[in-house]
């Protein structure tokens, strides 16, 4: 083993161990673990300037991009695995509207905001269509895990339909964001047409094909895993189910579908199949999902320098304010005549925290050849941190003030 490899193993092992401890501490002090892990990555010197011999950086953008994509697959698969379809069914229609039409409208409205800001005198960037679309799509999806972690003090005291709505919306709007970001990158590199028809066609194709392949693959996988010997250990099921997941996601991506949507649907089918032991599968993949989540945010912190986040803070604050306003308009428009009351709609607006997806797609942009890609990770990180600190910490007090939390 080379000295450089030994250094990398030691440093990454230490960072992952520290990330695990910080995540545990964050739960005790009622903070999202994302915040502390991101700060750990930011404070770590990715350039290893203290190590003699000028070794290469701990993590390159290409390596971070690959880790982020695989991590996102594992996180979404586990999200589907732990989703109870029977509980989600009553909110499927409103959540589907928010996740598809709502996410698309959010991306388009924020795209308009970015273009408007870029056209103002004194701005230092070109408000071209691919850049504006990417920024809007990057922050159009929500992260249920961050919201549920913050709402832990009110566990079982909030309306079940409200929690199910937030969780279901977050599960289905991630593929919309990823597909739109991919189209924006393709448009910026000249590899795709910029017509509205092509965008709608590509989004629909990836979404529908990913869902179909995920459902079919998940159904076959449930039969395959159920045919295993009853004496199969948890570790054997973990290996088999992980192999099936990687095979199906890779196939979906190669066929032109959304791999991350396929990952979520596969987990959803397996977790709700009567042929599979859901508890065993959850136990098998809980470690994979936690490691993937920690690695994703740790990678983001490593490839971004703190001074870059400070420089992007002004734009991030403006974008954050626009995000909250656009989400409020979207929620009120799409849930106006639904069963959700006005306090529930307002709380759903505040619960639109950003997390894993903006981090992953921002790293993807930085690893690409588009001229504005390097500016995306600092912007995404600043927006995510603002949302977690300003929105996230107000969720529990707001739920109580709106009268949504039942007495303990």
Q: Return the pLDDT at 198.
A: 67
Give the pLDDT confidence score for residue 105 in this predicted structure: 92
Share above pLDDT 70 across residues of the chain, in percent, rounded to a whole number: 89
The 10 Å Cβ neighbour count of residue 408 is 7
Q: Where are the domains of the chain?
A: 61-401
pLDDT for position 122: 63
Convert the pLDDT of each residue in 186-241 to its tens digit.
888 765 455 666 667 777 788 888 889 999 988 888 887 775 545 556 677 788 88
pLDDT at 320: 94
Q: Which residue in the block uniquely carries the two structure tokens 């159904």?
A: 219
Q: Would residue 53 be called left, alpha or beta, if left means φ above 0 and alpha means ψ between -120 and 50 degrees?
A: left
Which two structure tokens, joined as six digits, stand for 382? Answer: 């600043």
- Give the right CATH number for 61-401 from 2.40.240.20, 3.30.428.10, 3.50.50.60, 1.20.1530.20: 1.20.1530.20
- What pLDDT does 139 receive? 92
Output the CA angle 65-72-8, nearest 5 degrees: 50
Written as tens digits, the pLDDT of the chain (408 aa) is: 666 677 778 877 888 888 888 877 877 767 777 778 888 888 777 766 555 555 567 777 888 888 888 888 888 888 888 888 887 888 889 998 998 899 989 999 999 999 888 777 666 666 788 899 999 999 998 887 777 777 777 767 888 888 889 888 887 888 788 888 888 888 887 654 556 666 677 777 888 888 899 999 888 888 877 755 455 566 777 888 888 899 999 998 888 888 888 898 898 888 888 877 778 888 888 888 888 888 888 888 888 888 888 888 988 999 999 999 999 999 999 998 888 999 999 999 998 888 888 988 999 898 888 888 888 999 999 999 888 888 888 888 888 898 887 776
Which pLDDT score, from 0 to 100, does residue 195 have?
Answer: 60
Q: What is the pLDDT of residues 385-395, one digit of tens each?
A: 888 888 888 88
């Amino acid at each position: 083993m080379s000295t450089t490899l030994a250094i990398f193993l030691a440093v990454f092992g230490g960072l992952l161990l520290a990330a695990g401890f910080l995540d545990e501490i964050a739960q005790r002090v009622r903070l999202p673990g994302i915040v502390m892990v991101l700060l750990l990555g930011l404070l770590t010197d990715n350039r290893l300037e203290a190590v003699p011999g000028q070794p290469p950086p701990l993590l390159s953008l290409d390596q971070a991009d690959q880790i982020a994509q695989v991590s996102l697959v594992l996180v979404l698969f586990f999200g589907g695995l732990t989703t109870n379809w029977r509980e989600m069914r009553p909110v499927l229609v409103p959540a589907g509207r928010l996740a598809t039409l709502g996410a698309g409208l959010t991306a388009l409205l924020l795209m308009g905001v970015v273009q408007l800001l870029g056209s103002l005198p004194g701005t230092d960037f070109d408000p071209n269509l691919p850049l504006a679309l990417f920024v809007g799509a990057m922050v159009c999806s929500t992260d249920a895990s961050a919201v549920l972690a913050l709402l832990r003090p009110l566990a079982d005291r909030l309306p079940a339909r409200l929690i199910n709505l937030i969780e279901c919306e977050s599960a289905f709007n991630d593929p919309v964001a990823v597909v739109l970001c991919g189209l924006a990158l393709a448009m910026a590199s000249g590899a795709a047409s910029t017509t509205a028809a092509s965008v709608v066609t590509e989004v629909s194709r990836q979404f529908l094909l990913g869902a179909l392949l995920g459902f079919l693959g998940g159904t076959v996988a449930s039969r395959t895993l159920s045919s295993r010997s009853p004496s199969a250990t948890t570790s054997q099921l973990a290996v088999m189910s992980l192999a099936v997941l990687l095979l199906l996601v890779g196939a979906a991506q190669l066929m032109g579908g959304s791999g991350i949507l396929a990952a979520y649907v596969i987990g959803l089918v397996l977790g709700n199949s009567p042929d599979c032991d859901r508890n065993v599968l959850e136990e098998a993949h809980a470690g994979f999902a936690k490691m993937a989540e920690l690695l994703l945010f740790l990678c983001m912190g490593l490839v971004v320098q703190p001074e870059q986040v400070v420089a992007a803070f002004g734009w991030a604050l403006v974008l954050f304010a626009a995000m909250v306003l656009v989400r409020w308009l979207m929620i009120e428009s799409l849930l106006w005549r639904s069963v959700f009351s006005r306090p529930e709609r307002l709380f759903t607006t505040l619960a639109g925290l950003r997390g894993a997806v903006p981090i992953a797609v921002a790293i993807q942009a930085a690893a690409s050849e588009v001229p504005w890609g390097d500016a995306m990770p600092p912007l995404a990180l600043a927006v995510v941190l603002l949302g977690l600190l300003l929105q996230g910490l107000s969720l529990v007090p707001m739920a109580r003030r709106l009268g949504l939390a039942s007495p303990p």
